[in-house]
Amino acid sequence: MHGTASIPRLNPPLTNNVRLILLTVLISAGVLVALRVPLLLPHPPEHRLPPAKATSLPPVPGDFAVPPPPFSPEIFPCSQCHNEDQPTNKKRRKLKMEHKDIVLQHDQEHRWCLDCHDSDNRDQLRSASGEPIKFEESFRLCGQCHGDKLRDWRIGIHGKRTGEWNGKKEYLLCVHCHNPHSPKFKPVAPMPPPVRPEQIR
């Protein structure tokens, strides 16, 4: 029995050459289709940033808002206590009466309170050269040693800024983040880690 014979055969006569040509055409078509993929993919040109002008002057104090310095409560003005009634003892020593909580961990071998706090007017600070510096501009004091940080801070690289990326910004003073007497960051507890994929059900 030839049961399979009833499916009509598709039988155009083919010479070997025709087969070869057909195969070549098909394979080329396949390759072409495949090749077109990368050609058709959108390839935006690399983005070129506009040339920057020579570094312009960084913002100067007054150009931006700075929150008031983070004084301990009710401690300022310092002249509440440090007044005519209390003559200044300029001798470097360990404090025994007030400010005992302050542990200086900021180049303590070389410095002490009155290297930064103005001995004549305790409501302000002083630079190494004796120039008075307001607490609101304490960054100038810090910048004497940390000039690179001051520069970075002014242009917004160092430190935190809040507000508008295209408008009003608020800077934080160095002392908002760094305790001036012990500037190294203190470790904090991290917030909770993500849920592992295995635990999502």
Minimum distance between the CB of residue 14 and other proteins, rounded to whole angstroms?
6
Q: Which two tokens stand for residue 7?
A: 């499916």
Residue type, 143: G
Minimum distance between the CB of residue 129 and other proteins, rounded to whole angstroms?
27
Which residue number, 79 or 105, has a Cβ lying nearer to other proteins?
105
53 binds other proteins (CB under 8 A): yes
**The one among 17, 49, 60, 94 contacting other proteins by CB under 8 A:** 49
97 binds other proteins (CB under 8 A): no
Residues 6+ apart with CB under 8 A from 192: none
Residues facing residue 133 across a β-bridge: 125
- H/E element, 170: strand 169-171
Which residue number, 67 or 163, has a Cβ lying nearer to other proteins?
163
CB 96 within 8 A of CB 175: no
Torsion angle of alpha carbons 147, 153, 154, 157, nearest 10°?
A: 120
Residues of span 152-181 touching other proteins by CB under 8 A:
152, 155-168, 172, 177
Which residue number, 53 or 91, has a Cβ lying nearer to other proteins?
53
Which residue number, 38 or 87, has a Cβ lying nearer to other proteins?
38
